[in-house]
């Protein structure tokens, strides 16, 4: 793959394993440094979503950490109190009321009730917080997507990361934060039970053994979380293929072709072949991890059994009471569970923070389409404009060769320029450069004598009214689809109707059930109307009329219109442009006859330039294209 000019790299790379003992600190600092950086990023994100969220999570974590030992201590006291009574052959009822057992029972149930309340409240707040964090992350992604360079979208690495960020990043941050605070709870719980166990002579070594036995299983857990992450990354192509092939089969636009060519079974087979490749490795990971867990579960079980026997024996011989038995065995189980949870959660937090990298990388993506000057000027509006290309060359990021080579020309005020050339010649690319969606790799483009890069970008964009080949179709109503051309303008019925009449939208809108308020596409509304490609195209043209821009650009806007409709649109355009500078690309050369200047682009180079008559007289490429087309046209219409 070509270097990506500083664009988004696959930004999580495993730190390089240490080469020597001296190299270990470097490895650890990279491993943990990256982790903490990502973790604080998440913390900041959640904090900014709502300060109450991390505060609430921290409170719940403390509560969950402290409560288990309190419950165990109360239970111990209750059981020991009862055992004393049993050992004395039973006591009178009056002694029960004064024994304190009643208060302990009340305390125990109050404790259980409190846990229940805290759990329900925190569960509800957690869900609310989850929704808020998801929306906050989506907001950040949408805000960022407003400014990311178009060139970034051409970079597959960037695109994949953006999709992943969009899909994954929403639910991960809160999950990671809750898990981290779960670790805090486990640490507090662990310490509190260790205090209980280590204060009993003879139990301290048992405690240490129990802790030690939990470690390997936890390490397996940690290791497999990492393997899992790397596997998911490694097989992301297969997973995307699975999504793609299953998506294709339910795609409304593709269903006709799939039915008529009988493609469904082939796509299903392709889905399964991607799944097979993905599943093979995944199954191996799952099976191996389970095998390890079973092994360690047996070891832990046997060790615990030995300790339970030892403690039970002490109760039997009267060295300790029955309440102590429940406290100690419970504490041993809790210590083992806490150690495993600690390491396992750390693994899963670690894995989660790696996924967050996609989001961080996306949000940090550098924007290059920015003004080159500190105080960029707005474009002067409402005047005729001159555009000059000076030795402009362009290469798409990551591509092997230039798509445009050393192009120079001028469009004078009020002129109409037609771009002509075969498919793939570079016409659309030239328009993308003219509108500063991309910057040239070499040379410069001047608008009214100043480099495009010196203008304020938003004001520059507003100067152009453009209809792309792949113009937008929005699931909004007709009126809204037109008004998108200029959201700063108040959308009066008059303005909408005016734009519609110029683009022949009016003819079909009046036949629609709801007129201008008819919802388009059947994505949200049952009564949504589906338009034909040609009708959509007219709507896109109406949008450009509505935009009140100074420079009109049409990139094969009439591709789906019949020859007569196309001619109508072009002559309409010609009338309406009121001496506006206009650029259009059309594969039908008959429309080029209208232009003041025609550029013939061939394989990225400017081959010929002149008006229709001049180019015909030259008998070069334009002449060849024109005569071939008009011959075909005459043949077709005969």
Cβ-based nearer residue to ligand ADP, 342 or 431: 431
The neighbouring-strand residues paired with 394 are: 404
Cβ-based nearer residue to ligand ADP, 348 or 428: 428
The neighbouring-strand residues paired with 583 are: 417, 553
Rg of the chain (C-alpha set): 36
Distance in Å, CB of 413 to ligand ADP, minimum: 25
Distance in Å, CB of 426 to ligand ADP, minimum: 4
Q: Pick the piece of the chain touching ligand ADP (CB under 6 A) from 55-63, 303-311, 424-432, 626-634.
A: 424-432
Contact 339, 116 (CB under 8 A): no
Smallest CA-to-CA distance from 605 within 418, 447, 402, 436 is with 402
When binding is defined by CB under 6 A, the residue of 423, 527, 613, 638 that contacts ligand ADP is 423
| Greatest pairwise CA separation for the chain in angstroms | 125
When binding is defined by CB under 6 A, the residue of 76, 326, 358, 429 that contacts ligand ADP is 429
Buried b (16+ CB within 10 A) or exposed e, 108-123: beeeeeebeeeeeebe
Binding mask 341-380 for ligand ADP (x = CB under 6 A): ----------------------------------------
Distance in Å, CB of 275 to ligand ADP, minimum: 30
Binding mask 515-554 for ligand ADP (x = CB under 6 A): ----------------------------------------
When binding is defined by CB under 6 A, the residue of 38, 64, 77, 427 that contacts ligand ADP is 427
Cβ-based nearer residue to ligand ADP, 379 or 403: 403
Q: Is 2 in the site for ligand ADP (CB under 6 A)?
A: no
Q: Dihedral sign for Cα 7, 8, 9, 13, please.
A: positive
Q: Pick the piece of the chain touching ligand ADP (CB under 6 A) from 33-41, 51-59, 334-342, 423-431.
A: 423-431
- Residues 132-161 touching ligand ADP, rule: CB under 6 A, are 154
Cβ-based nearer residue to ligand ADP, 105 or 399: 399
Q: Pick the piece of the chain touching ligand ADP (CB under 6 A) from 128-136, 349-357, 417-425, 527-535.
A: 417-425
Distance CA(544)–CA(552), nearest Å, equals: 8
Distance in Å, CB of 399 to ligand ADP, minimum: 5
Cβ-based nearer residue to ligand ADP, 423 or 637: 423
CA-to-CA dists, residue 503 to 488, 516, 529, 569, angstroms: 21, 14, 19, 7
* 199 φ/ψ angles, rounded to the nearest 5 degrees: -80, -5
Those residues with Cβ within 8 angstroms of residue 618's Cβ, 6 or more apart along the chain or in another chain: 608, 610
Cβ-based nearer residue to ligand ADP, 175 or 432: 432
When binding is defined by CB under 6 A, the residue of 114, 116, 121, 399 that contacts ligand ADP is 399
Q: Pick the piece of the chain touching ligand ADP (CB under 6 A) from 73-81, 202-210, 363-371, 416-424.
A: 416-424
CA-to-CA dists, residue 32 to 10, 14, 241, 402, angstroms: 19, 11, 33, 43
Cβ-based nearer residue to ligand ADP, 441 or 572: 441
Residue 190, token pair as written in the block = 């662990």
Buried b (16+ CB within 10 A) or exposed e, 147-158: ebbebbeebebb
Distance in Å, CB of 300 to ligand ADP, minimum: 56
Contact 458, 548 (CB under 8 A): no
State how far Cα 137 lies from the chain centre.
9
Total residues interacting with ligand ADP, rule: CB under 6 A: 12
Helices 24-49 and 172-198, packing angle to 10 deg: 110
Q: What is the DSSP letter of 321?
A: -
When binding is defined by CB under 6 A, the residue of 123, 247, 424, 472 that contacts ligand ADP is 424
Those residues with Cβ within 8 angstroms of residue 154's Cβ, 6 or more apart along the chain or in another chain: 396, 397, 398
Distance in Å, CB of 417 to ligand ADP, minimum: 15
When binding is defined by CB under 6 A, the residue of 186, 428, 558, 582 that contacts ligand ADP is 428
Residues near ligand ADP (CB under 6 A): 154, 396, 399, 403, 421, 423-429
């Amino acid at each position: 793959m070509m270097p990506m000019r500083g664009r988004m790299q696959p930004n999580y790379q495993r730190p390089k394993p240490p080469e020597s003992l001296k190299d270990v600190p470097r490895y650890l600092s990279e491993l943990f440094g990256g982790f903490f950086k990502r973790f604080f990023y998440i913390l900041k994100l959640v904090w900014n979503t709502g300060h109450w969220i991390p505060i609430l999570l921290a409170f719940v974590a403390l509560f969950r950490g402290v409560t288990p030992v309190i419950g165990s201590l109360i239970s111990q006291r209750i059981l020991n109190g009862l055992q004393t009574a049993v050992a004395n052959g039973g006591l009178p009822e009056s002694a029960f009321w004064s024994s304190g057992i009643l208060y302990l029972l009340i305390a125990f149930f109050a404790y259980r009730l409190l846990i229940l309340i805290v759990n329900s409240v925190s569960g509800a707040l957690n869900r609310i917080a989850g929704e808020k964090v998801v929306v906050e992350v989506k907001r950040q992604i949408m805000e960022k997507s407003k400014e990311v360079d178009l060139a970034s979208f051409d970079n597959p690495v960037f695109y994949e990361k953006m999709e992943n960020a969009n899909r994954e990043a929403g639910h991960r941050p809160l999950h990671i934060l809750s898990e981290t605070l779960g670790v805090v709870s486990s640490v507090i719980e662990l310490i509190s039970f260790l205090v209980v166990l280590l204060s009993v002579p003879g139990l301290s070594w048992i405690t240490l053994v129990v802790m030690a036995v939990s470690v390997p299983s936890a390490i397996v857990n940690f290791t497999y979380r990492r393997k899992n992450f790397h596997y998911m990354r490694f097989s992301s192509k297969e997973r995307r293929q699975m999504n793609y092939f299953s998506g294709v089969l339910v795609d409304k636009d593709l269903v006709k072709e799939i039915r008529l060519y009988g493609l469904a079974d082939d796509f299903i087979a392709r889905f399964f072949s991607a799944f097979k490749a993905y599943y093979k490795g995944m199954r191996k990971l799952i099976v191996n991890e389970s095998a390890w867990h079973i092994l360690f579960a047996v070891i832990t079980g046997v060790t615990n059994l030995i300790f339970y026997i030892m403690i039970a024996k002490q109760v039997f011989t009267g060295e300790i009471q029955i309440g102590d038995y429940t406290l100690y065995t419970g504490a041993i189980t809790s210590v083992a569970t806490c150690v495993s949870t600690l390491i396992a959660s750390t693994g899963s937090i670690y894995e989660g923070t790696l996924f967050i990298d996609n989001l961080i990388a996306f949000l940090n993506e550098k924007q290059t389409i920015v003004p080159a000057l500190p105080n960029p000027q707005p474009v002067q509006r409402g005047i005729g404009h001159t555009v000059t290309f000076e030795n402009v060359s362009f290469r798409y990021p990551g591509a092997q060769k230039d798509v445009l080579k050393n192009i120079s020309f001028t469009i004078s005020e009020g002129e109409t320029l037609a771009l002509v050339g075969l498919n793939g010649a570079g016409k659309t690319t030239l328009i993308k450069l003219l509108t500063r969606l991309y910057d040239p790799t070499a040379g410069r483009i001047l608008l009214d004598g100043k480099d495009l890069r010196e203008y304020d970008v938003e004001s520059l964009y507003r100067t152009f009214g453009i209809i792309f080949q792949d113009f937008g179709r929005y699931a909004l109503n007709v009126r809204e689809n037109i008004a998108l051309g200029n959201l700063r303008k108040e959308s009066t019925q008059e303005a909408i109707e005016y734009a519609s009449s110029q683009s022949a939208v009016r003819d079909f809108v009046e036949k629609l059930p709801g007129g201008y308020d008819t919802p388009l596409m059947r994505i949200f509304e049952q009564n949504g109307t589906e338009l034909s490609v040609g009708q959509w195209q007219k709507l896109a043209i109406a949008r450009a009329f509505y935009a009140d821009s100074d420079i009109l650009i049409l990139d094969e806007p009439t591709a789906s219109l019949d020859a007569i409709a196309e001619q109508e649109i072009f002559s309409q355009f010609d009338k309406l442009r009121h001496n506006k500078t206009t650029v259009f690309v059309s594969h039908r050369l008959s429309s080029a006859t209208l232009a003041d200047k025609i550029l013939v682009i061939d394989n990225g180079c400017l081959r010929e330039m002149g008006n229709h008559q001049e180019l015909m007289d030259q008998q070069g490429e334009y002449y060849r294209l024109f005569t071939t087309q008009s011959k075909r046209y005459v043949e077709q219409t005969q």
